[in-house]
Amino acid sequence: MRTEVLSNMENCFGYIDENYKRICFDMEEAKAKYRKLHEEISLMAVTKTVPPEAVNHAISCGIQLLGENRVQEYTSKKDFYDTSASVHFIGHLQTNKVKYIIEDMDLIQSVDSIRLAAEINRHAERIGKQQQILAEVNIGGEASKSGVCPEMLIEFLEEVAKMPNIRVKGLMTIPPPGENEKFLCKMQQLYLDISSKNMDNIDMDVLSMGMSGDYAKAIQYGSTLVRIGTGLFGARKYK
């Protein structure tokens, strides 16, 4: 049984190796076609359902950024992770779960309400931290998704900017399937418009958009951080 497990994990590692090389090639190709040479685009490994052994192998390949979707899953795996990678929270975050991740997250990408921002600020103050966040934008106005509607984003950012233990570093979105190019373009324009306003206590350093199926297009439309899970680890749990 142990031999079978080791063999499966070795196969998993080889699969990750090949995917990582392909993703890096595709990203560089998109950057060369659409972006300036000096612009940096980060690759995040989304680790939902992925065991720590596979995550750590991805880190050994060159991944420097992990994206966590679920608080309970993260807390069960974090002690087994290679600590050289930075960790972001990218999933829907309930206010009562903030206390479990606040010490570990370099950035919380999925801040979608004043109530959540206030709770993050409260816990960040408690531990003496200024927590970096992204404002999650529901760019397609989908009822099934979290996020601030574009029309309310300026007002949202102005309120969050008053919170002393939070620093907004940019925006995050998941565009609707099937029409993602239109909404990627809309998100890029929103990001540029807000950047031009030079709002107090608001940095527009990060535009987090693009996943396994659309990361090259997201790079075309200005993404600085792409979040890839299935494209790197596959669409199944590893044994």
- In this predicted structure, the answer to whether residue 2 has a pLDDT above a threshold of 90 is no
Q: What pTM does this model have?
A: 0.93
Residue 238 counted as domain residue: no
Phi-psi region at 87: left, alpha or beta (left = phi > 0; alpha = psi -120 to 50) = beta
Mean predicted lDDT score pLDDT of the chain: 94
- In this predicted structure, the answer to whether residue 12 has a pLDDT above a threshold of 60 is yes
The per-residue pLDDT for 237 is 60
Residue 39 counted as domain residue: yes
- 201: containing domain: 2-232
Tokens of 4: 């079978």
The number of domains in the chain is 1
Residue 49 counted as domain residue: yes
Residue 239 counted as domain residue: no
Q: Where is average pLDDT lowest: 6-15, 63-72, 100-109?
A: 6-15
Rounded Cα distance between 84 and 81, Å, is 9
Query: In this structure, what CATH number is given to the domain that contains residue 67?
Result: 3.20.20.10
Residue 70 counted as domain residue: yes
Residue 22: partners with Cβ closer than 8 Å, 6 or more residues away: none
The band of 8, judged by pLDDT with boundaries at 50, 70 and 90, is: low
- In this predicted structure, the answer to whether residue 178 has a pLDDT above a threshold of 90 is no
**Inter-axis angle of helices 153-160 and 180-197, to 10 degrees?**
50
Residue 237 counted as domain residue: no
Residue 115 counted as domain residue: yes
Question: What mean pLDDT comes out for the span 82-97?
Answer: 98
